[in-house]
A and B are shown apart, each in its own frame.
Chain A
Amino acid sequence: MHTTLDPIYQQVVDQLAHVVGQRYVLWRPEELMLYEYDGSALDMARPDIVVVPSSTAEVAAVVRIAAAAGFPIVARGGGTGLSGGSVPAAGGVVISTSRMHRVLAVDAHARTALVQPGLINTDLSEHTLPWHLHFAPDPSSQKASTIGGNSAENAGGPHCLKYGITTNHVLAATVVLASGDIVHLDNTAPDRPGYDLLGVIVGSEGTLGIVTELTVRLMPNPESVKTFLAIFDDLDSASQTVSAIIAQGVIPAALEMLEGQGIALVEQSVHAGYPLDAQAVLLIEIDGTDEEIEDETRRIEYICQHFEARELRAARDEDQRKKLWAGRKGALAACARLAPHYHIQDGVVPRSRLTEVLQLTRDVAKKQRVHIVNIFHAGDGNLHPLLLFDIREEGVIERAIAASEEILKACVDAGGTISGEHGIGIEKRDYMAWLFNDDDLWAMRQMRACFDHVGVMNPCKLIPTGASCGDIKAARGAAKALAAGAWI
């Protein structure tokens, strides 16, 4: 890290300033500090320089300069990521997309929008409201996370149960490669001959290139939406209800669960009307035509009754609906009441294995003496155990990491995976070997090298790499205080 400017470093800063303007090149330590972390708690690294370009051409010029000087290049959107994707693990130049935040065009007929990567997720749906269209991926961070970041991490969200994750909604991308070349990967004409490079760009966590423009799919807003809160006295019944709803052929727009002490914590913070003594609550949202709502309501009522829900409550109006969702989306912040530090996990299990893995998280919490609250996307088996602790307690970080690993391993053993939507980044890089053997990882590295043979794009992420990235894990331990602005 450079605290004083050596001549070569000064030269790079000057070259970058020439491209984007002095104002948009940050190099003072106090400026760089803001860019050394993301929404994940355990990994931090300071960039050497931060650049804030305003166009594809500027990004390309910045990439050329940075790559020529041997700097790693890391793209950063809203900085809300939960796996260290935008943390400059090996230092280098961070390219912030915050000035590239515009909606460039909306085609209401084709139901697509052309946007810049720094556009905030919810800003797009607000922009397209007059056409009754919206962008379906809705990570809980959506008020702060960007579409470029969503695309890099292949973000999900509660509504991806019915509408799919980000990769299903990105139709084209302009990408700046490590060479500084610009390539436009376009699937708006379907089945274009060639290999589906866009399919690997989405979810590549900035390791293949930097996306500077995206064409995304827009979905029509449903005619009706109905949101239920189902309240249960035990976890098993709630889990069985989730499985039954899916197995009976109802695909709700969202099917979320809060369990255990998380319910009371959320209620005390958000006052959404969750009963303080419930063991599990399900937030069930259905959408569609009025006829579909009527049919699905009947089936959900029947299933909830069958599994002895204490109560099934439907939101009476939009205000109540928002309140129910505020409880879910503000859950992480609410849990700050329990302990000042956190680590969020993101594992997936087949839906039929939910109950046993949830039970295991409880056992692990007991064994490792950390609090674990489960607030998660039950409908697609995507668990988010939230580990809460106080780092002033000796050895607690090691115990939290051990608990976290044990839970993830259980997800893999149950036939699931180590990340459903938060990405691999730094945090889970070393767990990739639980899922993929050396040959699989070799094939991924080979593919990555086809885009970036030097390895300047977001190095040390996603795939286990050599010794040069080995010190990242050792740098762990700087867990941050829980901020009110983090989401799962």
Chain B
Amino acid sequence: MFKPTTLAELSAAVRDSSGPLTPRGAGLHQGLGHPAHPESTIIDCTGLNQVADYVASDLTITVGAGITLGALQDILAAHRQWLPWDAPQYRQATVAGLLAAGLSGPLRHGAGAPRDWLLGMQFVIGDGRIIKSGGKVVKNVAGYDLHKLHLGALGTLGIIGEVSFKVAPLPACDQTLAISCASLAAATQLAYALRQRPYNPTALLAVQHAGQCTLWVRWQGVEAAVMRQIAHARQLAPQAESHPTSAWESLSNEPFRTQLRTQVRIGLPPQHLDTLWPLLTHLPADASVHLMPTVGLARIYAPHLPDVAAWRTALPATGYVVVEIGTAADRWGPEPAGAAIMRQLKQSWDPDGRFNSGRFIIS
């Protein structure tokens, strides 16, 4: 195992070693994808946790990618700023790990994905060279956005060493309502009603568990604007209940509180969500569904793997089903468009297939 504390050490660890390598942050998502090569050497990236550059008045920060998202948020919060990225288990999870696993949270509705906040990156490729793309300023079109290729790539194209983000001021007011709904379809309909112009919640999450369905809604910003939207929401849904902001953290961590058995991710263009309802009505009672209705992203946590092959057939070709945790012959489903280009890219940057080879859809 290697535990570099600088980019140069990370580079040396890759350059001076041979054989398969598995980059690891907090190790929370090592179960994603196919298992790593059994003889793989771990590169523990949690030592890459320094703040390289932070000028609060510029609203940008550059950090070692092994920093936990929680530590990063604490640094920003001291200056009344934050990164609107509410990934699950964010206190333990590292920034690089979350980026490689492609994880975001319900704030994605209003704030976008981490991709929209990422300004630049330094990463290490198969021969140990450090590659830089993007930059540290909020606007930059110099060169290709190579950093975007690493998002959700499970560390297969390189090891993320350092990242720059733009950040935002902390909102003055932050309010949350939980609204009990008859079904995911009803929750989705309500979600769309709540984001009717000019209203704009920042987070929307529908949760179905043990026969109950709840739409969680968050508004942030100027107090008067938030209160006006809360009043509108209560009009539409008198059953709405206020919750503290901390509810979001519990919600996103809930599925991980016990040993996870299976986890399936479904992505669909939001206008095709209707095709999802028939699939989800037959889930066992102890399964839970977390759905971002306006984003078109769902995760299903269940004791046994659902019939994903049937789901893939039932859903339109614009969507996909991935088995994130669980034993399945076909975890990833059909290859994406451009797979040939993706394979060449993997071949170019990691010609010996050292980084997590075999784990991802592209191998």
Contacts and interface: CB of A to CB of B under 8 A. Distances in A.
Given A192-B320, A439-B130, A417 B362 contact: no
B102 A289 contact: no
Nearest to B344: A450
B198 A352 contact: no
A348 B144 contact: no
Contact of A200 (B130, B132, B144): B144
B145 A203 contact: yes
Nearest to B55: A352
A188 B140 contact: no
Given A223-B197, A249-B169, A352 B57 contact: yes
B62 to A, nearest CB: 10
Interface in B134-176: 135-146, 148-149, 151-153, 157, 168-170
B318 interface: yes
Nearest to A289: B225
Contacts of A110: 269-271
A56 to B, nearest CB: 14
B148 A109 contact: no
Interface stretch (B23-31, B40-48, B109-117): B109-117
B148 A196 contact: yes
Given A183-B338, A247-B57, A449 B222 contact: no
B345 interface: yes
A382 B345 CA distance: 32
Interface string A422-440: 1110001000100111011
Nearest to A222: B198
Given A195-B149, A222-B198, A154 B141 contact: yes
Interface stretch (A118-126, A161-169, A257-265): A161-169
Contacts of A109: 192, 270-271
A294 B224 contact: yes
A185 B137 contact: no
B336 interface: yes
Contacts of B125: 443
Contact of A107 (B139, B200, B271): B271
A6 interface: no
Interface of A: 107, 109-110, 132, 153-154, 156, 160, 164-165, 167-168, 183-186, 188-197, 199-200, 202-204, 220-223, 243, 246-251, 288-289, 291-292, 294-296, 348-352, 377, 380-382, 415-424, 428, 432, 435-437, 439-440, 443-444, 446-451, 462-463
Nearest first, the 4 closest Cβ-Cβ pairs linking A and B are A249-B169, A199-B148, A194-B336, A223-B198
Given A195-B362, A351-B59, 9 more contacts: A183-B338, A188-B296, A190-B108, A194-B342, A289-B198, A291-B228, A421-B141, A443-B129, A450-B344
